[in-house]
Amino acid sequence: MGTGLFWLLLLIITVTAMVPHFVIKAFTEHFNPSDIQIAREMEKFENVNQVNRSEIPMRGFS
């Protein structure tokens, strides 16, 4: 039990067992987000889309 190989294998097995859970979670959150996730993202990025008063809007070329 005190060997380095035991602890290395314990770490590798633990990480390997957790990988499918994180892959499935990332896949579902990216391709099928819930309403809560969509609302959080909209709230997070709503200030980015607003034009600040110090910015001058660009006009198109004519």
5 inside domain: no
> How far is 19 from 6, CA to CA, in rounded Å?
20
For residue 37 the two structure tokens come to 């996730």
Helix (H, G, I), strand (E, B) or coil at 38: helix
2 inside domain: no
Tell me: the pLDDT tens digits for 12-57?
A: 999 999 999 999 999 998 999 999 988 888 888 876 666 555 666 6
- Which phi and psi (to 5°) does residue 52 adopt? -75, 155
pLDDT of residue 57: 67
pTM (predicted TM-score): 0.51
What's the mean pLDDT in 6-14? 96
30 inside domain: yes
40 inside domain: yes
pLDDT of residue 41: 87
41 inside domain: yes
Higher pLDDT, 61 or 44: 44
35 inside domain: yes
Number of domain units in the chain: 1
For residue 7 the two structure tokens come to 């602890």
The answer to whether 37 and 29 have CB atoms below 8 angstroms apart is: yes
Q: Which structural domain range is residue 24 located in?
A: 19-48
> How far is 49 from 1, CA to CA, in rounded Å?
57
